[in-house]
Amino acid sequence: MLVRADLNVPLDGETITDDGRIRASIPTIRNLAGRGAMVIVCAHLGRPKGTPNPKYSLAPVAKRLAELLGEPVEFASDVVGESAQAAMAGLRDGQVALLENLRFEPGEESKDDAERALFAGRLAALADLYVGDGFGAVHRKHASVYDVPRLLPHAAGGLVLAEVEVLKRLTEDPARPYAVVLGGAKVSDKLGVIANLLTKVDRLLIGGGMAYTFLKAQGYEVGKSLLQEDKLGDVRGFLDEAAARGVELVLPVDVLAAEGFAADAAHEAVDATAIPADREGLDIGPRTRELFAAKLADAKTVFWNGPMGVFEFDAFSGGTRAVAEALIASDAFTVVGGGDSAAAVRRLGLPEDGFSHISTGGGASLEYLEGKTLPGLAALEDDQVES
Ligand code: 3PG
């Protein structure tokens, strides 16, 4: 059984700083192994761009996977080479192996269909059946996500099924008021999702680095804060669209303006309309935290993606914490879109069970909410095997 998982976890050297995605992958692997399957797990780590690079080795992940499973995990030091063949040949019923980083092989991400298909064939040859469970990567048209399920009888894994069920609940008739909180550094990463959300939500709250392009589009100066000048036109379009549709677009009313981008930078809360020219906004301010909490208090459905500030610096983590706490306090169906916001929840020591769902997919959940067809889900749609 070949299981495509998303084990793309943050590493500091060889130390895994957030093992959320490994933990989320455990139930499917355990279920299959427990039922006697020989399980070969494949996954990517980072973006090594088709070349083996020890910095992106999955070896530390294999170790953690074994700890969490409470079973040994045979680690293959290549993807489809001798080591992978040997690992496969050595597996007994109910045992688990992990292949080295899929992205060490140029065929995995190739835009050339033939090159991808060739690699997919070698990967598929390792197994009889395929389980797609790497939700965080289903938006990638990669060999292990898109091509292998065409070559093997396949099924969606439990994680993918659970994630899709949650996203369906957000897109098909969500309980209202439906509020979405978006943050993160770049508005350019969120253009598609904002355009689509404006047709679905009642309230859209914008924080994080991307908020400054909104403030500038409204005519305010943002000092040295993050600004994407080339996206001002798109953002002005969103402001008009929100007004025309009656969507409440909520922007920061104050920010923490810092002297520089540093954990110990001197800073103060200033009105969002009066950011000094030599300061940069690194978090939403206290009045905005209250405003956002008030806008979330009576919502029945909330989706949150992207930190409100530079949460990695304690002094600028308060906005992100406030939004997370507002979700925890709420009775709504609350969903945290993966990536940085999920990492922030864990880093800030907040209870994961305080949310209805924490997605393992950052880009994947955003592209789903954007209304796109996701290659890895499309490939699994004709489930051929009972999961
Ligand atoms: C993610 O981290 O969102 C997924 O693992 C996909 O990784 P990628 O953006 O490098 O394709």
Average of pLDDT values for 285-292? 98
339 is catalytic: yes
CA angle 324, 330, 333 (to 5 degrees): 95
State residue 46's pLDDT score.
Answer: 96
pLDDT band, very low/low/confident/very high, at 127 (cuts 50, 70, 90): very high
Distance CA 214, CA 220 (A): 9
- Say what the pLDDT of residue 34 is: 97
pLDDT at residue 387 tops 70: no
Q: Which residues are annotated as a binding site for (2R)-3-phosphoglycerate?
A: 21, 103, 140
pLDDT at 340: 83
pLDDT digits (tens, 9 = 90+) for 234-260: 999 999 999 999 999 999 999 999 999
**In the predicted model, what is the mean pLDDT of residues 299-313?**
96
What is the percentage of the chain residues whose pLDDT exceeds 70? 99
Is 363 an active-site residue?
Answer: yes
Q: How far apart are CA 348 and CA 355, in angstroms?
A: 14
Q: What is the pLDDT of residue 385?
A: 60
Spacing, Cα 6 to ligand 1 middle (Å): 8
Pull the structure tokens for residue 71. Answer: 């079973």
C-beta of residue 333 within 8 angstroms of C-beta of residue 300: yes
Judge whether 226 and 270 are in contact, CB under 8 Å: no
Enumerate residues lining ligand 1, CB below 6 A.
6, 8, 47, 136-137, 140, 339, 362-363
Active site residue 186: yes
pTM of the model: 0.93
pLDDT-above-90 percentage for the chain: 95
Per-residue model confidence (pLDDT) at position 54:
96
Span 334-384, pLDDT tens digits = 999 977 888 899 889 999 999 999 999 999 999 999 999 999 999 998 765
ipTM over 0.95: yes
Which of 93, 82, 97 lies closest to 40 in space, CA to CA? 97
Q: Which residues of 11-24 are buried (b: 16+ CB within 10 A; e: fewer)?
A: beeeebebbbbbeb
Nearest-CA residue for ligand 1 atom 1 is 136
Residue with tokens 């208090």: 297
CA of 19 to the centre of ligand 1 (A): 15
- 194-226: per-residue pLDDT in tens? 999 999 999 999 999 999 999 999 999 999 999
Q: How does the average pLDDT of the chain come out, rounded?
A: 96
Average pLDDT of the residues in 113-128: 98
pLDDT value of residue 338: 76
Please say if the pLDDT value at position 386 is more than 70. Answer: no
Q: What is the pLDDT of residue 51?
A: 97
| Whether 49 is catalytic | no
pLDDT tens string 84-107: 999 999 999 999 999 999 999 999
- In the predicted structure, residue 314 carries a pLDDT above the cut 60: yes
Which helix (H) or strand (E) is 205 found in, with range? Answer: strand 203-206
What pLDDT is recorded for position 137? 97
Residue 383 is predicted with a pLDDT of 63
Q: For residue 27, is pLDDT > 90? A: yes
b vs e for 118-151, b when ≥16 Cβ sit within 10 Å of the residue's Cβ? Answer: ebbebbbebbebbbbbbbbbbbbbbbbbbbbbeb
pLDDT of residue 159: 97
Looking at residue 69, what is its pLDDT?
98
